[in-house]
Amino acid sequence: MKWEENVRKVTPYVPGEQPGQSGVVKLNTNECPYPPAPGVRKKAENFDYDRLRLYPDTEAGKLADALCKYYHIRREQLFIGVGSDDVLAMSFLTFFNSGKPVLFPDITYSFYDVWAELFGIPYETKKLDEEFRIVKEDYMGENGGIVIPNPNAPTGVLESVGNIEEIIAANPDSVVIIDEAYVDFGGESCLKLIDKYENLLVVQTFSKSRAMAGLRIGFAMGSPKLIRYLKDVKFSFNSYTMNMLSIELGVEAVTDEDYFRDTVKKIVATRERVKKELSEMGFTFPDSMGNFIFASHREVPAKKIFEELKKRGIYVRYWDKPRIDNYLRITVGTDAQMDLLLDNLRELTR
């Protein structure tokens, strides 16, 4: 039909499979295996639902105050969005308009190229080295912006803040976005650099370490100028993006620091134990600093393991893509979930 000639056509992002049946072991989307902080449930149970007839606070003020207190930043250095995907998409739309290519790794979060294509932004992917590390010199030429996930997904590899800072310093004319979705599981944040570099934006999320993927809370921290530009675009798009319940429950997640630390500690301990057991079975993997492990077996193909695990009701993530088609990304679940996974992997790889 003639009207179809004017449709914006893109290949959408494909998320991890969401199995409809109950009783499966779901280790394919990097969700937290533990519930949110106890205060989140208490607040939800006592929430005055009559308030939902009203519009939420466009600035998400209560949540902004809690985040500013926790991260020791000012309100003008904070942007809140509906999950880090929303924050990142707004950042692409706001900052990458020079006509020059935006740079990000060739093995990384597969939404980056989708946003670039959706908004008509040219981009180039830079090849990770054989150990899945960034080659920092690749990011020091002319560009229209840079996006670096740290730790990276799906590899879990962490780059040092020193290496990241060299890239930021070499690109004063471009906005550099550091996507820190998994930083709480063993990484050092680049947050300490936002006062030094006006062009740095650090993005984090409640979906992983704070166990609130279902409420969609993400945020960015950067210079007041960057944040002001982001808010201008947001409020030109939709002023009421953060719903009232997410704001209220998000505050509870931030203020219970002890629960947050305990949850992260449990996940890290399980991750390190599972690394050892996978290694004994013949798996190799980068030293993940996320809540997942990117593993390849020395004899049994990843696709075969993926398919056999799925038949047994255990879901992990597999991509049939160059360079990573013999790897599985395995989310770190509870100890019981991981024990079940390990028992099945022993059967499949013996």
Residue 194: predicted pLDDT: 98
pLDDT digits (tens, 9 = 90+) for 95-154: 999 999 999 999 999 999 999 999 999 999 999 999 999 999 999 999 999 999 999 999
**pLDDT for residue 64:** 98
- Cβ contacts of 142 within 8 Å, gap of 6 or more: 100
User: 154 is written with which tokens?
Assistant: 């799906």
Q: DSSP letter at 50?
A: G
Give the residues across from 328 on adjacent strands. Answer: 295, 318
- Any residues with CB less than 8 A from the CB of 324 and at least 6 apart, and which? 107, 154, 294
Q: Which domains does the chain have, with CATH numbers?
A: 20-36+258-349 (3.90.1150.10), 38-255 (3.40.640.10)
pLDDT in tens, 51-108: 999 999 999 999 999 999 999 999 999 999 999 999 999 999 999 999 999 999 999 9
Residue 240: exposure state from Cβ atoms within 10 A (0-12, 13-18, ≥19): exposed
pLDDT score of 17:
86
In this predicted structure, what is the pLDDT of residue 253?
Answer: 97
- Nearest 5°: the CA angle 269, 272, 275 is 150
Distances (CA, A) of 147 to 108, 116, 200, 273, 316: 10, 11, 10, 31, 26
Low-confidence ranges of the chain (pLDDT < 50): none
